[in-house]
Structure 1
Amino acid sequence: MKSPVRILMVGEGAIAAIHMQALGHVPAASVVAVAGGDERNTRRFAETWGIERVFTDYAHALEASGVDAVILATPSPLHARQAEQAIDAGKHVLCEIPMSLNLADAERMTRRAREASTVAMVAHTRRFNAPHREMKRRLRAGEFHLQHLVSETYFLRRENLNMQGEPRGWTDHLLWHHACHSVDLFAWLLDDDVLDAWGSQGPLHSELGIAMDMNIGLRATDGTLATLALSFNNRGPFGGFYRYIGEENTLLAYRDELKDYEGNVVPLSTPGFHAQDTEFVTSIIEKRAPEASFSSCLPTMRILDKLSHNMV
């Protein structure tokens, strides 16, 4: 039996814990080290998940941990620099979304990964969520003809708190993080990287300095539409909700559940995070480009860049 892929988990927060849960079902993976920003929390994380080696210096962890790959579950502003450090150290990398907060960084990361021939993947989990994979199957098979994808993304972020209700040292972003999920999903579903895109945003938060509400319109080459409504002012429920309006049916997707318009549940298979992290590990073993590679996600970053300059 081949040795498992040795992984360094970078980050000790909620997303890192979700990755640990998923990797617990991937026999070919072994998280052997964790690198975090807070020593106390990092050691607590390591104890919770049975991780032997603990680091609070990322650069030292890359050098000393003896790993094959890293998973970056860190604040968004750190993704680009940390991904490039991993690539330069000869490690495969799975980077949480967004891969960067601007197009220039995304293009540089992609170029560096290509030159290094390393597995470089973005955690575009929507591509792996079972409802969306089922919808793409139906689209490709001609069983469903999409007319309009309506995406609603809701959170309450009036204070700078993380998913666990704790103070956050960085500020989340509706466009580069949350809209990124749905823009990428729409392009991936239709295999169409050339999308018309337009949008508008509400007032900036007086302290956080970000738009708290946003709407975005997308139009595919064949005329199919997508409408994205996003808010950091919503009091719940939280998350991303998707309505597939098609010629044959209307279906609603939330996380790993799919229902028709009458509320009947559609049977599905593997949960998204499990499928996503399995793909990362498998692509390393098989020495191939993964689904959601840096290269395949770059067109989404170009659309976001266009939106960032044209928001009204």
Structure 2
Amino acid sequence: MTHANAPLTPVGRLRLARCVVDEGWPLRRAAERFQVSVSTAKRWTDRYRAEGEPGMVDRSSRPHTSPGRTPTRTERRIIKVRLARRWGPARIAFLLRLVPSTVHRVLTRFGLARLTYLDRATARPVRRYERAAPGELVHVDIKKLGNIPDGGGHRVTDRQAGKRHRTRTPGKKLDRYGGSHVGYSYLHNAVDDHSRLAYSEILPDEKKETAAAFWQRAQIFFATNGITVERVLTDNGACYKSRLWHDTLTAAGITHKRTRPYRPQTNGKVERFNRTLLDEWAYARPYRSETERRAELPRWLHTYNHHRGHTALAGLPPASRVPNLSGQYT
């Protein structure tokens, strides 16, 4: 089919070719007459001499030989090098004597185009999952965080001033070298797998009694927002392996699941929440005291749950996946 801007239709090509072949016109004169280039006039004239009138119609633009898919054996070699050495398409292509675009196409076909799709420890493709409804699974974890001395630590001032502030802070502790420390706080976090709705508290330790009491308050938080928790996933921390933790969940009709040892990726949603918590709250600005930082946590949690866009939720906040969430429109 002739495109809209073609200067010659099949009929015009036939007329041009007959002027040259049958009537003896020079190519240049025929090209000027039909307002085309000399090379175009020659192409249609040669085709008329070789094929006659049927040669004036459009041909398929498909090449005579179409390249096939990369052989299976080559694809396996590409994937093997990718998983074993973590190389990019260019280095793999150099090793296997291929074209980088071919290697990239194979990696894309098998979902290995980015190294972030592979587990760092095993180099296996990352298997991502998400529960279908809120409450089917809640991730729980504890993050240890150093306290800020009154007046600010070394992140705000220099190290000498930070040392003086630690010494003057009430409740400081001394280590075996005589240095003063203001201790640690423990962030107990619970994140719903489906909605990413989060509940967090700053507590003084990570003992089994503290963890069990935290979960009771977290369960009330989720229940208040219309979420019935069915399963809880934790790591293999001592508090989560205790009889008290097991009895607390069992009494509420909740199933407890633990991750495989040395496999924090299974609990990845709360691990990622920990990182977000540190980046956007704990170290977001230079706080002058631990009290000042702790006062900001409730406000930040509200922003995270109700207003902050989440990349895993297509830019929507966790509240968008929890119907009738309290405070969603404030």
> So what's the TM-score if we normalise by structure 1?
0.25
Relative to total residues, which structure has the larger strand share, 1 or 2? 1
Greater RCO (CA < 8 Å, at least 6 residues apart) = 1
